[in-house]
């Protein structure tokens, strides 16, 4: 089924690779519920929904596309959901926001079945793609620093350095140091192991306790949140969430496609510039995003952590199958995850480090060309300063074609970008940014 001989691998190698990928990305079952609970979504709901979306997407990737790539709710998109969509307006409840995720997922499924997806990806300037990735990284790291008190509010300068003697800050710094040491030594699963080590320190110092035990049956307190596609569409229409849907769609498409191609290249699975079974692979993400929104989690994405499994020898969908099974098993450890999630210092180092890794895209920006550099710079700067990923994307898309027009390079801009610029301008100046 997985053609192991054809890809020069074995069951043992694939299982080891799957376990490696799982260790590197299992932090999401702790971090995602913490972020989305800030939007009012019950912790247990997000925990279970995160696992459902991960299992559905990764199983599809394993059994249909036969790639060693895992799917799970994306970092950055969860922050956008919690702080820029739900947090931006009292009228936008998390139920309404999940309707926007659902519609974006359905559109993504349709696009994944048509050539339009490829045209859309090719239309967006590379520098804007890199700027979006770096901006999201900066925003995530900023959230991690604020969660722990390393950075706190300041009446004049907005933010300032927090109390370095507080137990939360000291625990965060210890966790950050441990995780960075593990990553420097190329230890697989460094983020997860760092969390375990930080949690152990928190337990020894009395900051962490397991009053509700360690295991329980998974629950969905809110049941199915989005069940009627027409109601979901009505929510988007009523609250004018077009830009939100577009932002979810845009970031998911680029993030997923870029990650899939990167991991496939690393595994030697590309054929020239083409990715075999690309349509099936992209469907895994779009289906997972749609299903995840129904149960209560933000959009999914292909995980770059899959590269750790590839480095361990993973070449087929059997690696992804192992990841899906392990995530399913994790569903029974809700109380343990809930206890750990109550201590921000345990999970914040992962946010800060993931943010730093995403900032790597900044090196790909053409800084010596002002018409390319400034729009990307504006994206990166505005995301953390406005606490809105969508606003950052919008400002970049508005500025980019304007700069090109001034430089006399109107033909260098794809018609889609001009269309997006008009839509974003209308959203920002007439509908208000979300």
In this predicted model, what pLDDT tens digit does every residue of 345-402 receive, in sequence order? 887 888 888 888 888 889 989 999 999 999 999 999 998 888 777 788 889 999 999 9
DSSP string, 378-398: HHHHHHHHHT-HHHHHHHHHH
pLDDT at 431: 59
Alpha-carbon gap, residue 297 to 284, rounded angstroms: 16
Residues of the chain scoring pLDDT < 70:
117-118, 121-122, 273, 430-434
pLDDT of residue 95: 94
Residue 82 lies in a domain: yes
CA-based nearest residue to 349, from 178, 114, 100: 178
pLDDT of residue 32: 94
Q: Is residue 118 in a domain? A: yes
What pLDDT score does 434 carry? Answer: 43
- Let me know if residue 224 belongs to a domain: yes
List all residues 6 or more positions away from 109 whose beta carbon is below 8 Å from its beta carbon. 283, 286, 287, 290
Q: What is the pLDDT of residue 173?
A: 95
Angstrom distance (rounded) from CA 215 to CA 203: 18
Domain hosting 211: range is 11-431
Q: Is 2 a domain residue?
A: no
Which pLDDT value is given to residue 228? 92
**Model pTM score:** 0.77
Evaluate whether residue 4 is within a structural domain: no
Residue 258 inside a domain? The answer is yes
In a domain, 361, yes or no: yes
Give which of 96, 86, 105 is closest to 36, Cα–Cα.
86
Does a structural domain hold residue 192?
yes
For the chain, the domain total comes to 1
């Amino acid at each position: 089924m997985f053609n192991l001989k054809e890809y020069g691998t074995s069951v043992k190698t694939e299982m080891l690779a799957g376990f490696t990928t799982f260790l590197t990305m299992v932090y999401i079952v702790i971090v995602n519920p913490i972020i989305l609970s800030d939007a009012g979504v019950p912790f247990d709901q997000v925990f279970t929904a995160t696992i459902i979306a991960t299992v559905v997407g990764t199983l599809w990737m394993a059994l249909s596309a036969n790639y060693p790539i895992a799917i799970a709710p994306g970092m950055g998109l969860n922050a956008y959901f919690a702080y820029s969509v739900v947090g931006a307006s009292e009228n936008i409840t998390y139920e309404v926001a999940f309707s926007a995720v659902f519609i974006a997922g359905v559109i993504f499924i349709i696009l994944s079945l048509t050539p339009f997806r490829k045209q859309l990806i090719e239309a967006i300037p590379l520098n804007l793609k890199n700027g979006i990735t770096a901006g999201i990284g900066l925003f995530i790291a900023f959230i991690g620093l604020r969660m722990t008190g390393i950075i706190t509010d300041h009446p004049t300068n907005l933010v300032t350095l927090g109390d370095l003697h507080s137990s939360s800050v000291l625990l965060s710094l210890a966790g950050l140091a441990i995780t960075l040491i593990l990553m420097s030594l190329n230890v697989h699963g460094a983020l997860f192991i760092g969390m375990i080590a930080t949690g152990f320190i928190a337990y020894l110092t009395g900051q962490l306790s397991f009053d509700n035990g360690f295991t329980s049956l998974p629950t969905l307190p809110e049941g199915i949140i989005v069940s009627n596609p027409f109601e979901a569409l009505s929510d988007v229409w009523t609250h004018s969430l077009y830009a939100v849907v577009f932002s979810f769609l845009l970031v998911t498409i680029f993030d997923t496609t870029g990650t899939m191609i990167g991991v496939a290249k690393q595994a030697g699975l590309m054929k020239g510039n083409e990715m075999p079974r690309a349509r099936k692979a992209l469907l895994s993400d779009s289906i997972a995003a749609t299903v995840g929104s129904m149960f209560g989690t933000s959009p999914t994405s292909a995980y770059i952590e899959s590269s750790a499994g590839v480095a361990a020898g993973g070449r087929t969908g059997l690696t992804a199958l192992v990841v899906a099974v392990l995530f399913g098993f994790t569903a029974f450890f809700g109380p343990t995850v809930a206890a750990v999630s109550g201590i921000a210092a345990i999970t914040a180092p992962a946010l800060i480090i993931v943010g730093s890794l995403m900032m790597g895209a900044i090196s790909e920006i053409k800084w010596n060309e002002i018409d390319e550099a400034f729009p990307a710079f504006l994206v990166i700067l505005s995301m953390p300063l406005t606490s809105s990923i969508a606003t950052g994307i919008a400002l970049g898309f508005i500025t980019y074609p304007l700069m090109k027009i001034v430089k006399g390079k109107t033909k260098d801009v794809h018609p889609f970008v001009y269309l997006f610029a008009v839509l974003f301008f209308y959203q920002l100046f007439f509908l208000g940014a979300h």
